[in-house]
Amino acid sequence: MDHREYTPLQELRLTPASYIVLGLVEWAGTATPYDLKRYAAASVGNLWSIQHAQLYSEPARLAKAGYLKEKREDGGRRRKTYSITARGRRTLSSWLAEPASETAELRDPGLLKLFFGADPKLIAPQQVEIHERKLAAYERIHAGLAGTDLRGPRLTLEAGIRAQRAQIGFWRDLA
């Protein structure tokens, strides 16, 4: 008797990058890797950046596993266009429904230097500058989002704004 179970198309680990792709494709309805690149750069990229090459490999992986549908255009470039499948949609929404258990790390190169004894006077000014620039960018985008129905991105930006303000305060006090 054969006890092997039915294996789904492919077993793969879903990483944050996977969910980013799934999320963007669902939002867009249909997208080529290059579209994804532009969407990501203008939105999630601020929170969680992705290399453009991965926006080619990751959708392919997801398609092979049945989360996305892949369609190749016939003409010249033969671009690939992706759309989300029912399975993909289910996976995405159940990910959204369960609370995130993992905690984020700071992973700030500036802080790392500080940890190992870098001179605060030396690095603080640049850090202030960096975070202020980020803050300004966030606020600009946030303003552009007012009145739209993009609630998620708007809220996320607000979190980012608070984070930048906190860091600016920290480095200011140091300098």
Alpha helices in the chain (DSSP H): 16-28, 33-42, 54-64, 86-97, 109-115, 120-145, 151-174
Whole-number CA gyration radius for the chain: 20
Distance between terminal CA atoms of the chain? 73
Cβ atoms within 10 Å of 174's Cβ, excluding its own: 14
8 binds a copy of itself (CB under 8 A): no
Shortest distance, CB of residue 75 to a copy of itself, whole angstroms?
A: 32
Pick from 108, 26, 93, 103: which is nearest to 59 by CA? Answer: 26
Residues 31-60 that bind a copy of itself (CB under 8 A): 43-44, 46-49
Which of 14/137 has CB closer to DNA? 14
Stretch that binds DNA, among 34-42, 84-92, 143-151, 166-174 (CB under 7 A): 34-42
Q: Which two tokens stand for residue 36?
A: 């994804």
Tell me which of 1, 6, 7, 13 binds DNA, using CB under 7 A.
13
**89 binding partner (options a copy of itself, DNA, none; Cβ < 5 to 8 Å by kind):** none
17 binds DNA (CB under 7 A): yes
Residue closer to DNA, measured from CB, 27 or 56: 56
Sequence-ordered list of residues with C-beta below 8 angstroms from that of 62, at least 6 positions apart, any chain? 18, 21, 22, 68, 82, 88
Q: Are the C-beta atoms of 50 and 17 separated by less than 8 Å?
A: yes
- When the beta carbons of 30 and 49 are compared against a copy of itself, the nearer one is 49
Interface map 53-82 toward DNA (x if CB under 7 A): xx-xxx--x--------------xxxxx--
**Footprint on this chain of a copy of itself (rule: CB under 8 A):** 16, 19-20, 23, 27, 43-44, 46-49, 92, 95-97, 99-120, 122-123, 125-127, 130-131, 134, 151-153, 155-156, 158-160, 162-163, 165-167, 169-170, 174
